[in-house]
Structure 1
Amino acid sequence: MTNFKTNHLRQLPLTFLFLFLAVATNVFSQARKVINFDNGWQFTKGDVPGAEQATFNDTQWRKLDVPHDWSIEGPYDRANPSSRGGGYLPTGIGWYRKTFTVDKADAKKICTIEFDGVMANSDVWINGKHLGKRPYGYTSFTYDLTPYLNFDKANVIAVRADNSIQPASRYYTGAGIYRHVRLVSVNPTHFKHWGTFITTPVATISKGVVNLKVEIDNKGIAGDYKLQIDILDNKGTVVKTVESLKNIAANATGLISQDIEIKNPKLWGFEEPNLYTATTKLYSGKTLIDNQSIPFGIKKAEFIAESGFWLNGKNYKLKGVCLHHDGGAVGAAVPLGVWKERFKKLKEVGVNAIRTSHNPVAPEFLDLCDQMGFAVMDETFDTWNSAKHNGEKGYNLYFTDWWEQDTRDVILRDRNHPSIVIYSIGNEIHDNLSYPEGYKKYKMQEDVVKKYDDTRPVTMALFRPANSKVYLSGFAEQMDVVGQNYRENELVAAHEAHPTWKVLGTENTHVLVQWLALRDKPYMAGQFLWTGYDYLGEADWPETTNNQGLFDRAGNWKQQSLQRDSWWSTEPVVHIVRKSENAGAGNWVADWTPNDFDTYDNAKVQVYSNCDEVELFLNDKSFGTVKKPADDSPREWNVTFEEGTIKAIGKNNGKIAAQEVFATAGKPSKIILTQSNPTLANNWDDVSFITATIVDNKGVRCANADNLIKFSITNSGKIIGVDNGNIISHEDYLSPERHAFSGKAIAIVKASQDSGKIEIKASAEGLEAGSIIVEIVSDKK
């Protein structure tokens, strides 16, 4: 049972959170209450008549916390209605219920519930009263509970989520309340939900101008209300305070627009993603009646036709990836720590931009992009009215009735994130895009975007424009930025025929020629690779996962990430790969251990490197030095295989800059464990990836080992998912065991206590077991 008197804040950067708490402690009971509503739900699968009623008996239901994705619990089945799009995982109806109380002291306040996302076709009730329905599982929404609440008595929230109408998507969606939930209590006069818009019309190293447009809903009495705005830097220091007075009539909305000058601001950028916080306080007389804190960045981002993308006066290439919303083994309910680990690896490869393909992401995903310095293409829809194969019963069923509200809510929620540099309102749309009829559908969405945020350009990911004739009909020339998926030569030709067009590769493959289109054409603003990580769904059985990512589900490097590292990294890199089968057959792999020593003779070897020259050695015998090709192609050798050690040394200006060494593995001997995160706090978002690697007696990874690895963990922690990256594996993600793939498997671990140590062990028959310790900390700076 949740007591409404417990105060929790939505996750903020810790420096801001501590300051906010210090400022608000003495007056918080008078102002806004934001309460984490994730814990203590009852859940059941299947449709249950009467479950919306407050008197319904749910004591036999499963107790759990949200975010929760029940689809990832499986099992995989080729006959599941989700089919290839949803990755053959189960679908259907799920019910959630939660009982809570509200203090009578809050009876004069307005109480709302905020859902960051429910998949899908959600219906919500409070005490048996229907609050509303939202078909689109990716949008955040809120409902007013006030008219139906009991004070000092039990209240029941009931949520029905239905994704049984299949096939609903071309990729995995998840199922249930898979994002965070909050209860919010405000005074009758309060800041409007998503009603504060922060822009930076001037952003230079000497001067920043921050504009806040603040909407105030007055459901109380008419009168004068004072707005105080404090601007805090990234250390929590107040750098500017301004005040405004506004007379607001009863049952009216007041708008205050305030320009605030910041001298010598710390700009938000890729290398230094500096953040400020606007803390707004609303007073009636001397009484604080509402308060909120919103992080933002001071920046100037623009697309220029002849020279591409500019940020704070510097020309950059957007080196981007597309990301779906699933987190592999955790499904659609993704702890922020999973994204942190993924973002770190993307940064290591040189990625600086992310496309949210093809739907709105969780708000904390964008918070992380702000904090880590990624530019974002914020995308709304994969379909408009026309259906797509393997997703025939998707958003196309709801677009006509819901596109405007969903678009509005996405823009209002996301527009204060400095990471967002462009909006996309569609991906490979199959509707008729002929001009002017087709353009009207594009323009009506663009107009809604610009109504709520006119500071960023709008695009869409055009699909085969040479076929749809959008480059010839007049459609494309009306777009702020022309975005195209693949066929880079068409986009290059389109710009060169229309030099005033701003152009961007919205979806691209990993091949060299496509990288050169970005590298060598100044007007190409950027590319978004398909994809950054392998994702669930869009695969033909027995495959369950689309494997076009730079990294696999488990975070393992792949051939394309190693090569991309040589093209995009600013640090010297050397990566060795070989063809897995004899004489250039098979896949590219990064090891020196063939799966069949008897038949492996001719090893085709490539080295990906940005160094001036690379020399290859096998058992200390040199196979020659190759200089860096002008077209960034890999350096290649044909080598007669020998057991031992292969080494590549990269040099710049004659000095060693980077090197890589692989040794031939012997028989599997033991398991070694490594951790991505040596400390964990006991919260939903903090995780550590524990990697189990099977090695020989010299510590060399046994790349062909596929032993069944069994993980165990002490009671101070819990395993929330296991994986190995194998796209044809149908093993249970929630089981504590997994077969190794390429000699490795992972367990994703959380803390379940507030202090102590977590010991994780991994064992396999015939191998020496491995163990590792993760420390539990009370908080993490």
Structure 2
Amino acid sequence: MKDTRKTPFQNLRFIMLLLIFIVTTNGFAQARSIVNFDNDWKFIQENVIGAEKTAFDDSAWRLLNVPHDWSIEGAYDRNNPTSRGGGYLPAGIGWYRKTFKLDDTDANKIITIEFDGIMANSDVWINGKHLGKRPNGYISLNYNLTPFLKFGKNATNVIAVKADNTIQPASRWYTGAGIYRHVRLVTVNPTHFKHWGTFITTPVVTANKGVVNIKSDIENKGATGTYRMQVDIIDNKGKIVKSTESEKNIKANTSETFTQELEVKNPKLWDIEDPNLYTAVTKLYLGKVLIDNQTITFGIKNAEFRADTGFWLNDKNYKIKGVCLHHDGGAVGSAVPLGVWKERFKKLKEVGVNGIRTSHNAVAPEFLDLCDQMGFVVMAETFDTWTSAKNHGENGYNLYFSEWWRQDTRDIIMKDRNHPSIVIYSIGNEIHDDLSYPEGYKLYKSQEDLVKEYDPTRPVTMGLFRPANSKVYLNGFAAQMEVVGQNYRENELIAAHEANPTWKVLGTENTHVLVQWLALRDKPYMSGQFLWTGYDYLGEADWPETTNNQGLFDRAGNWKKQALQRDSWWSEEPVVHIVRKSDNAGAGDWVADWTPSDLDTYDSAVVNVFSNCDDVELFLNEKSLGVKTKPEDDSPREWNVTFHEGTLKAVGKNNGKIVAEEAFATAGKPSKIVLTKSISKLANNREDVSFITATVVDDKGNRCANADDLIQFSISETGEIIGVDNGNIISHEPYKASERRAYKGRAIAIVRATKNEGEISIKAKVNGLADGDTTIEIISEK
């Protein structure tokens, strides 16, 4: 299915162009400088003594750009210490160093470095001075470099980073390793907006009026004086819809908070169906001199959970049709280009998904930016463990929770609280700590209170684990929760609500089976569900498996049986999907084709059709096999079919009119490779990618579903292959390669541009078959 709504990226690009114009015409660049610091790092994957020292010789180290995940570059090995949780990929120590210079004009300013994530147990030095250590690899870090910097054309600065992943098993899923998210160098004047110090809320939201409250914390390490703060609210068309300003006298070496309230008439509300965004441009002046500036994207919305009718957004009742997502991007590991998330989010939208749970950690800023732009509501989660360990991740965050949870929680909430997509926080997933009441509740309550200190506008929950066993429904724990969240066992949550009808309830983790969908569909008070999971993810699998395969889509983005079925339940468009049992007489797995692996022994096919249409008629070689009407319980329609080579087709009708159909033909011998691309145009940046799918087909173009040939990709010098995959959970082939065996007749290469103009040529070769080829146009950055 295709989403025909206007893309949010068109409006986003327009806003960014406008902001660039504002910056250059109002002297913003003189007030605050944000420099991309991703390029030209030196790296070595080993424990090096003295690498933090300025004079250390790193000339033999590898030169690369971050984000970088060195673990995904390694080989699968059953004996790797990451083991089951980390997906049997390498662990160890990696060092990064970067040399840079600063102009004399910045000598009187404050310069900080921002890391969006270092995995894990990171130490950071500047010019040999230790800035800090942080165990949690998902946390965004900000270090003040100013006291230790050197300025001038003859002065050199060296920043060194050590990422230590030796203590294993450290996680129940794949984490990656290294500086795997973006880095920035930020320069401000002595008087400036505090880091994450601006908080935007919308306390009043109606169709006629949106009240926008902006609180900005100012730190003054400069001169005493009367400072003026100006705010412009810009809509998604680039129009300034409201402005205001106020003044405060701020003494040197103190902090002050500006609070401004603006009323936007007839606001364009942010919601799932039309995720309208506004931008607040805040400027701080001393007299007529611009001192600092910020641009923050936000949405005007009102979200709430109700005990009787579930989730409401802007006075409209929605079911949250969510998925849980881990932070890896399959073949690219944890260093995920934004284009990978764009492709994944697009497919999730096609299935009808409107919600995402960040399982079970803080995510990169651009991940939430994309949720804002595409209209996903988000349950933002902080931790998988508190103090008690979990199997296969015994040396995880539980070792550091007691010391670090306050700082980590504060940083997560302050970093993410301006994203309109976030509608609820979760502070734990299947926590194994004592949850008795009142003693066991204290740790939950202290975390909830801390969240509320930095963001009082959103409710807090957690994914309760086997509450009937822990007695949290009976001992008073759940009764104190703002929203009661439970993983699985939906009937327990239903019973708990019906015994306590004032409770607000939410399925925080759910499987794909029919009975769990019906629990959401048929109970008005069920706010939503988050399926485990949206995409297959690396780790949490028993050898020889390397990947947890409970996703709607596999690592390579192929639709799985549960996605096809979910599409029939959640899509608002008419859909028809055919699946059959792979082996004779109803044995084997569900597959979406009409090409058995052994034509001689396959004569009895069990066929299911997933559809939301009123009637579905099945045909084999144009002969009708009967019509089946839509069951009240949304179960699939089933036929027992005597197999014959040819074409199996399902036709969906509403009110007697054909509205959807799907057909599969029995494939002949493999003949050629066909290449398709997810995006036909790329800009030369590390975020833009295109998924190139190589499909083995017969001479009529039918996919050869049993083909497992080695597919060799090649690419022109104008592009690069950053990962290959096929979705097979027991494949141990490397991801950083140019070849991959076909799985179910397909394999992918993820490519990006390396030049600023021209075109990228991609080819795929299989011995004995006709080659496949395609091209991608390189476009200028907009």
In 1, Cα distance between the equivalents of 2:742 and 2:255?
Answer: 60
In 2, Cα distance between the equivalents of 1:697 and 1:653?
Answer: 38
**1:447 Cα deviation (Å)?**
0.6
Question: Equivalent residue for 1:28?
Answer: 28
1:472-520 deviations in whole A, cap 9, x for unaligned?
Answer: 0000010010000000000000000000000000000000000000000
Does 2:142 match 1:142? yes
Does 2:439 match 1:440? no
In 2, Cα distance between the equivalents of 1:99 and 1:93?
Answer: 21
**Equivalent of 2:219, from 217, 220, 226?**
217
Question: Equivalent residue for 1:4?
Answer: none
In 2, Cα distance between the equivalents of 1:382 and 1:249?
Answer: 43
**1:237 Cα deviation (Å)?**
1.1
Cα-Cα RMSD: 0.9
Question: Equivalent residue for 2:236?
Answer: 234
1:228-377 map, 5 Å: 228-377=230-379
Tell me the SS of whatever aligns to 1:595.
coil
Question: Equivalent residue for 1:62?
Answer: 62
**1:769 Cα deviation (Å)?**
0.3
Q: State the one-letter code of the partner of 2:629.
A: K
Tell me the SS of whatever aligns to 1:338.
helix
Does 2:105 match 1:105? yes
Tell me the SS of whatever aligns to 1:71.
coil
Tell me the SS of whatever aligns to 1:366.
helix
Contact 2:80 2:90 in 1 (8 A): yes
**1:15 Cα deviation (Å)?**
2.1
In 2, Cα distance between the equivalents of 1:394 and 1:502?
Answer: 32
Q: State the one-letter code of the partner of 1:113.
A: I
**Equivalent of 1:189, from 191, 195, 202?**
191
In 2, Cα distance between the equivalents of 1:675 and 1:468?
Answer: 50
Question: Equivalent residue for 1:5?
Answer: none
In 2, Cα distance between the equivalents of 1:383 and 1:29?
Answer: 42
Q: State the one-letter code of the partner of 1:13.
A: L
In 2, Cα distance between the equivalents of 1:20 and 1:145?
Answer: 28
1:597-641 deviations in whole A, cap 9, x for unaligned?
Answer: 111010000000000000000011111100000000000000000
1:21-100 map, 5 Å: 21-26=20-25, 27-100=27-100
**1:779 Cα deviation (Å)?**
2.3
**1:126 Cα deviation (Å)?**
0.1
In 1, Cα distance between the equivalents of 2:781 and 2:645?
Answer: 49
In 2, Cα distance between the equivalents of 1:771 and 1:148?
Answer: 53
1:408-427 map, 5 Å: 408-427=410-429
Runs of 4 or more above 4 Å deviation? none
**Equivalent of 2:562, from 560, 563, 567?**
560
1:536-685 map, 5 Å: 536-685=538-687
In 1, Cα distance between the equivalents of 2:13 and 2:701?
Answer: 40
1:198-235 deviations in whole A, cap 9, x for unaligned?
Answer: 00011111110000001111011111100000000001
In 1, Cα distance between the equivalents of 2:124 and 2:354?
Answer: 39
1:762-781 map, 5 Å: 762-780=764-782
Q: Structure 2 length as normaliser, TM-score?
A: 0.98
**1:57 Cα deviation (Å)?**
0.4
In 2, Cα distance between the equivalents of 1:21 and 1:737?
Answer: 41
In 2, Cα distance between the equivalents of 1:20 and 1:102?
Answer: 26
In 2, Cα distance between the equivalents of 1:187 and 1:531?
Answer: 45
1:681-725 deviations in whole A, cap 9, x for unaligned?
Answer: 011100000000000000000000000000000000000000000
Tell me the SS of whatever aligns to 1:74.
coil
Contact 2:31 2:188 in 1 (8 A): yes
**1:28 Cα deviation (Å)?**
3.1
Q: State the one-letter code of the partner of 1:109.
A: K
Tell me the SS of whatever aligns to 1:42.
strand
Contact 2:299 2:420 in 1 (8 A): yes
Question: Equivalent residue for 2:716?
Answer: 714
Aligned-residue sequence identity (percent) comes to: 75
In 1, Cα distance between the equivalents of 2:446 and 2:713?
Answer: 53
Does 2:377 match 1:378? no
Contact 2:12 2:236 in 1 (8 A): no
In 2, Cα distance between the equivalents of 1:511 and 1:107?
Answer: 62
Question: Equivalent residue for 2:17?
Answer: 18
Question: Equivalent residue for 1:7?
Answer: none
Question: Equivalent residue for 1:3?
Answer: none
Q: State the one-letter code of the partner of 2:385.
A: T
In 1, Cα distance between the equivalents of 2:172 and 2:614?
Answer: 43
Tell me the SS of whatever aligns to 2:72.
helix
1:149-193 deviations in whole A, cap 9, x for unaligned?
Answer: 000110000000001100000000000000000000000000010
**1:284 Cα deviation (Å)?**
0.5
Question: Equivalent residue for 1:125?
Answer: 125
Q: State the one-letter code of the partner of 1:296.
A: F
Tell me the SS of whatever aligns to 1:494.
helix
In 2, Cα distance between the equivalents of 1:470 and 1:672?
Answer: 55
In 1, Cα distance between the equivalents of 2:681 and 2:348?
Answer: 22
Q: Which moved more, 1:422-431 or 1:247-256?
A: 247-256
Question: Equivalent residue for 1:513?
Answer: 515
In 1, Cα distance between the equivalents of 2:657 and 2:18?
Answer: 49
1:192-207 map, 5 Å: 192-207=194-209
Would you say how many aligned residue pairs link Structure 1 and Structure 2?
770
In 1, Cα distance between the equivalents of 2:624 and 2:138?
Answer: 55
Q: State the one-letter code of the partner of 1:465.
A: P
**1:13 Cα deviation (Å)?**
3.4
Question: Equivalent residue for 2:174?
Answer: 172
Contact 2:43 2:64 in 1 (8 A): yes
**1:74 Cα deviation (Å)?**
1.4
**1:120 Cα deviation (Å)?**
0.1
Question: Equivalent residue for 1:394?
Answer: 396
In 2, Cα distance between the equivalents of 1:345 and 1:176?
Answer: 29
**1:250 Cα deviation (Å)?**
1.1
1:111-166 deviations in whole A, cap 9, x for unaligned?
Answer: 00000000000000000000000100001010000000000110000000001100
Q: State the one-letter code of the partner of 2:607.
A: V
In 1, Cα distance between the equivalents of 2:205 and 2:702?
Answer: 52
1:80-114 deviations in whole A, cap 9, x for unaligned?
Answer: 00000000000000000000001010000000000
In 1, Cα distance between the equivalents of 2:13 and 2:556?
Answer: 29
Tell me the SS of whatever aligns to 1:371.
helix
Tell me the SS of whatever aligns to 2:402.
helix
Question: Equivalent residue for 1:749?
Answer: 751
Q: Which moved more, 1:414-423 or 1:231-240?
A: 231-240
In 2, Cα distance between the equivalents of 1:15 and 1:573?
Answer: 35
1:674-713 map, 5 Å: 674-713=676-715
In 2, Cα distance between the equivalents of 1:460 and 1:419?
Answer: 18
**1:12 Cα deviation (Å)?**
11
Q: State the one-letter code of the partner of 1:442.
A: Y
Q: State the one-letter code of the partner of 1:486.
A: Y
Tell me the SS of whatever aligns to 1:683.
coil
Q: Is the alpha carbon distance of 1:501 and 1:130 closer, same or farther for their aligned partners in structure 2, counting shifts above 3 Å?
A: same
Question: Equivalent residue for 2:6?
Answer: none
Q: Which moved more, 1:216-225 or 1:122-131?
A: 216-225
Tell me the SS of whatever aligns to 1:72.
coil
In 2, Cα distance between the equivalents of 1:12 and 1:705?
Answer: 43
Q: State the one-letter code of the partner of 1:80.
A: N
Tell me the SS of whatever aligns to 2:748.
strand
Does 2:517 match 1:530? no
**1:334 Cα deviation (Å)?**
0.1
In 1, Cα distance between the equivalents of 2:11 and 2:454?
Answer: 24
1:302-342 deviations in whole A, cap 9, x for unaligned?
Answer: 00000000000000000000000000000000000000000
